[in-house]
Amino acid sequence: MTEADIAAAVEEFASAARNAVAAGLDGIELHAANGYLLEQFLNANVNTRTDGYGGSAAARNRFTLEVARACVAAIGKARVGIRVSPHGVFNATGTFAGDDEQYVAYHDLEWGVPLRDERALFELLCLEGFQAGLSWITILRKR
């Protein structure tokens, strides 16, 4: 995907969110698990990009957070959540080195618990996700 393709996809997510609410749904849950597009950006096994959307945890988070912010802007923060699956193995995603640590969110804004590791992908996703306006984050745990 080019950066223009990514910008178009962000708008398509926002449009789909608006359509869902217009059709009578209460809200949406962004699906960033099971090999779907958002997880392909988040997962270090399949995201081999070398631009601003790959490499570091923050760069891998970028597309998902842009989608989340666009959906929140489109339908309101009370209507948007996200689902991630740290140990899903569909579509070549699967686990990667340090994934257990990356999927644990220790940061609590209300209680002031510090971020355990600023590089941790899903700690960043939780922190930045709530700052982006997400209402909930569903994390499927390892069996």
Catalytic residue among 36, 53, 103, 106: 36
Residues constituting the chain: 143
Cα separation, 104 vs 100, in Å, equals 7
DSSP three-state, residue 111: coil
Give Cα 26 to chain centroid, integer Å. Answer: 20
pLDDT at 4: 97
pLDDT tens-digit profile, the chain (143 residues): 999 999 999 999 999 999 999 999 999 999 988 889 998 998 888 889 999 998 877 788 889 889 988 999 999 988 998 887 776 777 767 776 656 555 554 444 444 444 444 445 566 566 666 676 777 776 665 55
pLDDT at 119: 44
Reported pTM: 0.79
Residue pair 72/132 in contact (Cβ under 8 Å)? The answer is: yes
How is residue 133 written in tokens? 């306006």
How is residue 140 written in tokens? 């499927």
> Among 63, 132, 61, which residue's Cα sits nearest to residue 102?
61
Cα separation, 77 vs 79, in Å, equals 5
pLDDT at 99: 61
Is 103 one of the annotated active-site residues of the chain?
A: no
